[in-house]
Amino acid sequence: MKEKLEQLKTLLAEAIDLQMAAAVLGWDQQVNMPSAGAETRGQQMATLQRLAHIKATSDEIGKLLDDLSAYTEELPPDSDEARLVKVARRDYEIATRVPADFVAEFTRLTAVAFDAWQKARAASDFALFRPHLERIVEMGRQYVEFFAPYEHPYDPLLDRFEPGMKTAEVKEIFDALRPQQVALIQEIGAAQQVDDSFLHGDFDEQKQWDFGVEVITRFGYDWSRGRQDKSAHPFTTSFSTRDVRITTRVQRDFLPSALFGTLHEGGHALYEQGVNPAYDRTSLAGGASLAVHESQSRTYENLVGRSLPFWEFFYPRLQEYFPAQLGNVDLQTFYRGINKVQPSLIRVEADEATYNLHIMLRLDLEIAMVEGSLEVRHLPDVWNTKMQEYLGITPPDDAQGVLQDVHWSSGLMGYFSTYALGNLIAAQLWEKVSADIPDLEDQFRRGEFGALLAWMREHIHQYGRKFEPQELVERATGSRITPEPYMRYLRRKYGEIYSL
């Protein structure tokens, strides 16, 4: 049976190689490619993804999985071999429901849609993107029907990013979280507001870039296995543990954008670089889920990057980069400023207390589009109405409203809720790591982040996709995903900042 297991690994590796080749083309499209190449690039990526899908759904793989089922039952259930077959079977059962031609067409569509989104966002004109999104939603509904019967039509889309999670579970978590977050925001709104005017000004782009590089290098990002580039929307992509790339975007007039974007993507990259390298070119490569992935990016962006101990070490260095802008701003003022709570238009620049409301809004809209109760043509108006309902503000234009996120142009419907779930997981992990490493904050004050990374590598990173997300979180923290640690974190932190 070991021979058949090796045969399975070989076949899976060939399919994964093709997927990674398509991913390289996707990275290049967002970083280097001239916009006129979108149509041809979409066809190239479609060909690769179609070939990868045909390989991944071959009868030969199906037979090997059947033959290996009895063998793996005799192995320790948590062994790499048993888990590899289990994950590969799940992937196979999902993939075989989806025709190869559908995969190719969807890949081509989203490559062209991404280019249309970039142009629409630059022009702040939803009409330029609308026909592409209408087709993406239509194909999303087709995808859902491949998995009938289902409890909710959104379930198959969510399951792509959060294995095993149901729409009802997410709604239950959000329903418990929403009133607590709204109450906290109202309390903060009644308190004296902090000053963040010093974050708006003229900040040299290269210096912003260099400072971000300095920080994530100290976090442990391995530049021999990674790189950073600029893109319209920050992202991380991984082709193996030996090639993990990040991007950021720099706003000259607003310091936090590139800074926290770089820290966020650096957290994702640390996860990918920390997966057991033996899992490269297998079904166990990559992160357990998007929510677990977000727990890592939000940890480094917020729980570390917006903490006072972090800035006790790094703020003097940042002042050296920007003496004219920050030289007369003391540490406490800076710390309070980067943690200012105020409803805002842009999700990726939202503060921790309001961020999840941005996610809940998008989840509502995605579910409505999938159910058919919201037509794409009405999306900008409904978006603006929901922004007023959730956050009390209305976007002045499409670029700062419905067009701000890249996800729908990439066909990533079902993705958004994982951001909020990632916040919850991050807080759960933080309570555990803080208990295991009592002097963690003192280490940050000295600019030492190795113990944190080692803990994450031991409890999260190394396992890749070996465990489903709820199982992994429970193994690491003793509990399934729950909002209580996150609310404790928010109340403690903002209670101090706003004297609540």
Catalytic site positions: 265
- Strands of 214-367 (E only): list them: 226-230, 236-240, 243-248
Report the half-sphere exposure of 17 (CA within 13 A, side-chain side). Answer: 7
Which residues in 152-254 belong to E strands, given as ranges?
Answer: 226-230, 236-240, 243-248
**Contact (CB, 8 A) for 38 and 111:** yes
Distance CA 424, CA 177 (A): 10
Question: CA-to-CA distance for 384 and 450, rounded, in angstroms?
Answer: 43
Using an 8 Å Cβ cutoff, are 284 and 80 in contact? Answer: yes
- Residue 72 contacts residue 86 (beta carbons within 8 Å): yes
Q: Which residues pair with 159 in a beta bridge?
A: none
Strands 243-248 and 236-240, how do they pair?
Answer: antiparallel
Cα distances (Å, whole numbers) of residue 382 to 164, 377, 387, 388, 402: 30, 10, 9, 10, 9
Neighbours of 234 (CB within 10 A): 22
Q: Which long-range contacts (CB under 8 A, 24 or more apart) does 29-37 make?
A: 29/111, 29/114, 29/115, 30/114, 30/231, 30/232, 30/233, 30/235, 30/247, 31/229, 31/230, 31/231, 31/247, 32/229, 35/115, 35/118, 35/119
Give the DSSP H/E element, type plus range, for residue 358: helix 352-371
